[in-house]
Amino acid sequence: MRFLLFLTLLGGLTCSSLQPANAQQHDQQQITALMTAQTTAWNKGDIDGFMQTYWHSDSLLFIGKNGVTYGWQATLDRYKKTYPDVTAMGKLDFKLLEFKPLAADVYLLIGQWHLQRTIGDLQGHFSLVLKKIKGQWKIIADHSS
């Protein structure tokens, strides 16, 4: 709940003039490439590769249907437990719906995810907070439902 309040407050502070349009376009292209890298790794059954797009920190925040997970390692462990093999993983597809710049180096990304699986499809929505860290975009908070 605090995370949603945080996002709501930050969303109210956003302004399209945080940076020039061409810089925003470049950032959005880089973030789209990050999401493509995630999809590619996932669809190869490579959860470790998928996790390279996340901030490798104990401060990473993941919120899913089972509650809050704190930290990169705990998030990796959660993914491996929930998706133990390629059958459970299926084929991932993202629809990126909205990019909201929150600061020059922070974005909120809203989208949809879909897993096509022989054992039954899954789908939902996500909100990601991404931050540029050492020149690379990383997911620092993930709320997937």
Contact partners, residue 22, CB within 8 Å, separation at least 6: none
Contact assessment for residue 140 and residue 120, using Cβ atoms and an 8 Å cutoff: no
| Structural domains in the chain plus CATH codes | 19-144 (3.10.450.50)
Is the confidence at residue 142, as pLDDT, over 90? yes
The pLDDT confidence band at residue 5, using thresholds 50, 70 and 90, is very low
Contact assessment for residue 108 and residue 7, using Cβ atoms and an 8 Å cutoff: yes
User: 103: which strand partners?
Assistant: 106
Question: What are the pLDDT digits (tens) for 34-62?
Answer: 999 999 999 999 999 999 999 999 999 99
- Work out the mean pLDDT of the chain and round it to a whole number: 90
**Interatomic CA distance for residues 79 and 117, integer angstroms:** 16
**Interatomic CA distance for residues 68 and 85, integer angstroms:** 23
Question: What are the pLDDT digits (tens) for 22-41?
Answer: 879 999 999 999 999 999 99
- Strand 61-64 and strand 136-144: the pairing is parallel
Longest dimension (CA), the chain: 46
Structure confidence at residue 6 (pLDDT): 46
Report the pLDDT averaged over residues 116-144.
97
Nearest to 64, CA basis, from 16, 109, 125:
125
